[in-house]
A and B are shown apart, each in its own frame.
Chain A
Amino acid sequence: MWKIKPFDHLILFLGTLFLLAPVVLAVMSSTHSAVEIHTGGLFLTPGTEGAATYAKVLTARGGFTGDVTGLSMLMNSLILGVGFAVGKIVLSMMAAYALVYFRFRFATAIFWMIFATLLLPLEVRIMPSYQVMSDLHLLNTYTGLIVPLLASATGTFYFRQFFKSVPDELLEAARIDGAGPVKFFLDILVPLSRTMMAAIFIIMFVYGWNQYLWPILMTTDEHFFTLMRGIKAILQVWVGSQIPDYNEAFALAVLAMVPPVLVVIVFQRMFIKGLTESDK
C-alpha cells in the first residue's frame, strides 16, 4: 500500500475544486433573479428565487404555440437519450453477433466498412441524412430523430471485441445443450454482456442527450424540442431592452445535467461490479 501523503490530497482537492466550481456557479446563479445576474455577475452564494425559477422553468408554457414546458422538453431529451442508447446497443450487438459467430463471405471487409463510418460523423452526412428523412416523411417524428443515428461503429466494435473474448467452449457447450443461434444469443451472450451494455449505455445516453445539431434540423414542431434547444431559445431573446433570463437558462442547464449524472451513477455501479466479478 502507498502511504497517503498530504500533498496527494492537496492535488485531489484542487482538481475537485476546479471541476466543481462551474457547476456550483451554475447552481447558485440559477437561484438568483435575471436582473441580479445581469448586474452582479455569477454568484457563489444561494439566492432566494430558486424555487420560483425552477418551477417556472419546468411548468411555464412558452414558445410560439404556448404549450412547450421544461418538463416536455425534458421528456423529449429523455426519449432521445434512451432511444439512442437502447437502439444502438440492440443494433450493434446484433451486428457484432453476426460478424463474430457466423461464417459468411467478406465478414472482415464488412466489419472494416462499418468501422470506416467512424470517419464520417453526422456533420459530414447531415444533408443526405436530412434528405432521406424528408423523403420518408419522418421529419418532426421521434423515429426520424432517433433512427438515422442508430448505426454505431463504436458499439459494434466494442461488442465484437467482447464476443471474441468469450471462450469458444461456451458456444460448443451451448450447441451440445441444444441452444440454437437465437437461444445462444439471448440466454448466454446477452447476460454475459451486461457490463459491456452498461458501459455503452452510459456513453450513448450522454451522446444522445447532448445531441443539438440533428434535432434542430429535424424538428420544426415545438413539441419535439429538447432541453438543449430550450436553453438556447431562452438566451436568444435579446431584443430591445429585454435581458435574457439568465437564471432560467442556468436552471435548465442544471436540469439538463441531472439525468446524465444519474445514468452514470446508476450504471457505473453495475459496470464496476461486473468488471470486478466477471470471469468467463
Chain B
Amino acid sequence: MAGMTLSSVGKTYAGGVQAVSDVSLTIEDGEFIVLVGPSGCGKSTLLRMVAGLEEITAGEVTIGDRIVNRLEPSERDIAMVFQNYALYPHMSVRENMAYGLKNRGTSRAEIEARVTEAARMLELGPYLDRKPRALSGGQRQRVAMGRAIVRQPAAFLFDEPLSNLDAKLRVSMRGEIRKLQRRLGTTSLYVTHDQLEAMTLADRLVVLNGGRIEQVGTPLEVYHRPASTFVASFIGAPAMNLMDAQVAGGRVLLEGVDLGPAGVAEGAVTLGLRAEDLSAAPTGLPVVVDYVEELGASRIVHALAEGQRIAFAHPPEAALSDRMALRVAPGRLHLFDTLSGKRIDRAARVPEVVA
C-alpha cells in the first residue's frame, strides 16, 4: 500500500524523439488513476517507465517513499497486467501465478495460500491446473490479474488489459476490475485509449496528448469542464461539438444567434457544446438535419448550422423535421481560445469584464 509520485518525468528516445515530457502527478494511496489518450500519446511509455521496463530519461518516480528510477522492475513492488496477458504458455495457471513469488523466495505454504485466495477471488479455482491455451480470453485476463494480486504489490499497473476482449466481456471485466480494486484498496495506474473505460473506472483521469498532460481530474470534472479543445473532443461520446463562434458585447454569438452570456473579452472563440445540452426548441439556432443515429434510448441528430457540423441528442419519441431550431441549456457553453485551444475560464474572467 503506497502512493506514487511522478515529478517532471520525461522520456526521450535515442533518436531524439520526445515521447513523454514533464509529467508531474501525485497519486494517493489506494487511488485508481486512468491514463487516457489517443495512440502514440505516450501513455504506455509513461506506464512502462513506472514499471521499470523503459528507462526514465528525466525526472523522478517515487513509489511509496522510495525513488525507483534505478531499480529493477522486480524491486519496485509493482505488478503489471499486459494487453496480451503475457502468461507463460508452458506453465499451468497455478504456476503462472506462483512464479513471481517463487523467485522472491516466498515459502511454499504462503504461495499456496495466496494463489488459492486469488483463485477464489477471481473464480479461477477449477482452472488452476490448466495451461493458458485451454482458457478463454476472459479467463486468461483473470489469470493475469491473479498473477498481479498474489504479489500483494504497492501498485497495480494495467496496460490496456481489456483491449483484446469482446465488447460484452469488456464491460463485465471492467466492473470486476473496479470492484477488485476497491476491495483490495491497491493504488492502480491504468492505461487505456477507450474514453468510456476511462470514465467508468477512474477515481481521477489523466488525459494525455503528445506526451504532455492535458488535464487531470475526476471523470465528471473532465467531462463537464474540459481544459482544452483536445480533452473536449476526446472525452464523451458523441464528441463535444466544437464550433467557430464570436463573442460580442459579453454574449456568445454562433452564426449570429445569441446563445447566452460569455463573460470574456471580445473576439473569435471556439465554442464547445455537448450534444445532450442541446435541445430542439421553437426558436433558436437554425439547423438543417443531415442524418440520424439511433441509439435506442435516444438518438443523435447530426445537423449543419450554416455549414458547421453539430450533433445533438433528441428524444426518440419527439418529432424530427428537416429544419429545426436548437436551444442550449443555460450555463453549458464551453469557450476555448481559438489558437491555443485552452479553456477560457469564465469564473476567473468574469470580474474583469464587469470592471
Contacts and interface: CB of A to CB of B under 8 A. Distances in A.
A174 B91 CA distance: 13
Interface in A231-280: 277-280
B74 A172 contact: no
B145 to A, nearest CB: 13
Nearest to A175: B73
A56 B72 CA distance: 65
Interface string A162-205: 00000101101111111100010001100110100000000000
B82 A172 contact: yes
Contacts of B307: none
Interface stretch (B98-106, B178-186, B318-326): B98-106
B86 A170 contact: yes
B53 A172 contact: yes
Given A187-B99, A277-B133, A280-B89, A175 B82 contact: no
Given A169-B82, A172-B86, A191-B90, A177 B72 contact: no
B74 A192 contact: no
A277 B90 CA distance: 11
Contacts of B72: 175
B84 interface: yes
B273 interface: no
A85 B37 CA distance: 51
Contacts of B80: 172-173, 176
Contacts of A172: 51, 53, 73, 80, 82, 86
Contacts of B133: 277, 279
Nearest to B144: A173
Interface residues of A, number: 21
Interface in B86-123: 86-90, 99-100, 103-104
Contact of B90 (A167, A169, A175, A192): A192
B89 A192 contact: yes
Interface in B48-97: 51-53, 72-74, 78-80, 82-84, 86-90
Contacts of A183: 103
B89 A176 contact: no
B103 A178 contact: yes
B80 to A, nearest CB: 5
Contacts of B79: 176
Interface in B19-66: 51-53
Contacts of B84: 167, 169
B103 A278 contact: no
Nearest to A170: B86
A170 B88 contact: yes
Contacts of A178: 74, 100, 103-104
A279 to B, nearest CB: 5
Contacts, number: 61
Interface string A87-121: 00000000000000000000000000000000000
Given A169-B82, A183-B103, A277-B133, A176 B90 contact: no
B78 A176 contact: yes
Contact of B88 (A176, A188, A194, A277): A188
B92 to A, nearest CB: 12
Contacts of A192: 89-90
A279 B90 CA distance: 9
A176 B51 contact: yes
Interface string B240-282: 0000000000000000000000000000000000000000000
How big is the B interface, by class? 20 to 34
Interface string B187-231: 000000000000000000000000000000000000000000000
Nearest to A169: B86
B99 A279 contact: no
B153 to A, nearest CB: 9
Nearest to B132: A279
A57 B90 CA distance: 45
B100 A176 contact: yes
Contacts of B83: 169
Contacts of B147: 173, 177
Given A169-B84, A172-B86, A179 B103 contact: yes
A192 B53 CA distance: 22
A177 B103 contact: yes
Given A172-B73, A176-B73, A176-B80, A279 B100 contact: no
Contacts of B88: 170, 173-174, 188
B147 to A, nearest CB: 8
Contacts of A177: 74, 99-100, 103, 147
Contacts of A179: 74, 99, 103
Contacts of B100: 176-178
Given A177-B103, A188-B88, 18 more contacts: A169-B82, A169-B83, A170-B88, A172-B51, A172-B73, A172-B82, A172-B86, A173-B82, A173-B86, A173-B147, A175-B72, A175-B74, A176-B53, A176-B73, A183-B103, A188-B90, A192-B89, A279-B89
Interface of B: 51-53, 72-74, 78-80, 82-84, 86-90, 99-100, 103-104, 133, 147
Interface of A: 167, 169-170, 172-179, 183, 187-188, 191-192, 194, 277-280
24 contacts: A170-B88, A172-B53, A172-B73, A172-B82, A172-B86, A173-B147, A175-B52, A175-B72, A175-B73, A175-B74, A176-B52, A176-B73, A176-B78, A176-B79, A177-B103, A177-B147, A178-B74, A178-B100, A179-B99, A183-B103, A187-B99, A192-B90, A278-B89, A280-B89
A-B CB proximity, top 9 nearest: A178-B74, A177-B100, A169-B86, A178-B103, A173-B86, A191-B90, A176-B73, A169-B82, A175-B73
